[in-house]
Homo-oligomer: A and B are copies of this chain.
């Protein structure tokens, strides 16, 4: 279990002294690795339109803050997600990545770059043939709905043959029956994937449900792979659920800068890094990035907890109706939205 901090005193700021990960006196879990999904899940807010400067500043922030993984975007098909409606971070082409991240070296920097690939015709994954040794990416995260698990398995094998690490992220699990989910996890656990990620797409889960799901995923993952957590903030529980998963033993956690992500957003990176006790994590560069790069986005985009996203989360629905309502002419008509959401419940 992560170091349980003493509630009677302030948190000691991170020391600059390098700490050997295997020191017997370590009071944190060095195995915990954090993934920044700002460009990827935030791309669902901006249609993946981010400037190169934004992406480079985020990359520099991840390096400074000690973040372990940075998801640069989706690697989706331009046919399914045409430009210019969707920006380049929806496709994550090697040439765009090279231009911004140069000759990124994961081993030297300690930062792994990842992209998300969707099943179900959203990505032309069979055409992806750049091996990991020639890519700035080291990790492909395979996202699927539960009925697409067979394709996800093929995708995992495809990317492992190319030398990438992978994760399997079954989405929208709060509307999946437990028997079906268990089957999907059993299938996923037969692949060479390194991580099974608990994904609360609708932001519907609270602690007791997170407990059950993490235990289910841990049983499927066994000793050979990790369990991760990807939370949404509809019920203002994204950070709490991420903490909970970590307390239960999850060593992979997603977060984004100021929670930038679809609808109510994700677990805010600043909260997660402040809570983790590994002194390699630095809060200051994250706050700087938020101040300089995220706050300006607030004027143009809507994300983060508000009543409409709360209502879809509570009633376990996709946030699309809430997103449309927030982008429409009456973003504060909470009661009307509540009535329409619950009309047939």
Flag if B11 contacts A315 (CB, 8 Å): yes
Known: A240-B240, A271-B236. A178 touches B8 (CB 8 A): yes
Sampled A-B contacts (10; CB under 8 Å): A7-B213, A8-B177, A206-B275, A235-B239, A237-B239, A240-B240, A270-B310, A274-B314, A287-B335, A295-B332
Q: Smallest CB-CB separation from A268: which chain B residue?
A: B236
For residue A307, CB closer than 8 A to chain B, the reply is: yes
Flag if B207 contacts A247 (CB, 8 Å): yes
Report A218 CB to chain B, min CB distance, Å: 17
Known: A11-B314, A271-B235, A291-B332. A207 touches B240 (CB 8 A): yes
Flag if B9 contacts A316 (CB, 8 Å): yes
In the complex, which residues 115-147 of chain A have their Cβ closer than 8 Å to any Cβ of chain B?
none
Q: Smallest CB-CB separation from A287: which chain B residue?
A: B334
Flag if A291 contacts B334 (CB, 8 Å): yes
Flag if B207 contacts A243 (CB, 8 Å): yes
For residue A224, CB closer than 8 A to chain B, the reply is: no
**Which residues from B are CB-within-8-Å of A237?**
239-240
For residue A325, CB closer than 8 A to chain B, the reply is: no
Flag if A290 contacts B307 (CB, 8 Å): yes
Known: A8-B177, A212-B7, A332-B295. A287 touches B338 (CB 8 A): yes
Interface residues of A (CB under 8 A from B): 4-5, 7-13, 174-178, 204-209, 212-213, 233, 235-241, 243-244, 247, 268, 270-271, 274-275, 283-284, 287-288, 290-291, 295, 307, 310-311, 314-317, 332-335, 338-339, 342, 345
Known: A240-B240, A270-B307. A316 touches B212 (CB 8 A): no
**Which residues from B are CB-within-8-Å of A208?**
4, 247
- The residue from B287, B310, B339, B342 contacting A271, defined by CB atoms under 8 A apart: B310
Flag if A291 contacts B207 (CB, 8 Å): no
- The residue from B12, B236, B342 contacting A239, defined by CB atoms under 8 A apart: B236
**Which residues from B are CB-within-8-Å of A207?**
207, 240, 243-244, 247
Task: Give the distance in Å from the alpha carbon of A54 to the alpha carbon of B88 in the complex.
Answer: 49
- The residue from B7, B178, B274, B275 contacting A174, defined by CB atoms under 8 A apart: B7
Task: Give the distance in Å from the alpha carbon of A4 to the alpha carbon of B239 in the complex.
Answer: 21
Task: Give the distance in Å from the alpha carbon of A146 to the alpha carbon of B69 in the complex.
Answer: 44
Q: Smallest CB-CB separation from A233: which chain B residue?
A: B236
Among A238, A274, A307, A316, residue most surrounded by chain B Cβ atoms (within 10 Å): A307
Task: Give the distance in Å from the alpha carbon of A232 to the alpha carbon of B64 in the complex.
Answer: 30
Task: Give the distance in Å from the alpha carbon of A30 to the alpha carbon of B144 in the complex.
Answer: 41
Report A261 CB to chain B, min CB distance, Å: 14
Report A285 CB to chain B, min CB distance, Å: 9
Task: Give the distance in Å from the alpha carbon of A237 to the alpha carbon of B233 in the complex.
Answer: 11
Report A67 CB to chain B, min CB distance, Å: 17
Flag if A338 contacts B9 (CB, 8 Å): no
Known: A208-B247, A284-B338, A287-B334. A315 touches B271 (CB 8 A): no
Task: Give the distance in Å from the alpha carbon of A229 to the alpha carbon of B274 in the complex.
Answer: 24
Among A178, A268, A311, A314, residue most surrounded by chain B Cβ atoms (within 10 Å): A314
- The residue from B10, B235, B288, B334 contacting A345, defined by CB atoms under 8 A apart: B10
Task: Give the distance in Å from the alpha carbon of A239 to the alpha carbon of B205 in the complex.
Answer: 13
Q: Smallest CB-CB separation from A314: which chain B residue?
A: B274
Known: A236-B271, A335-B288. A315 touches B10 (CB 8 A): yes
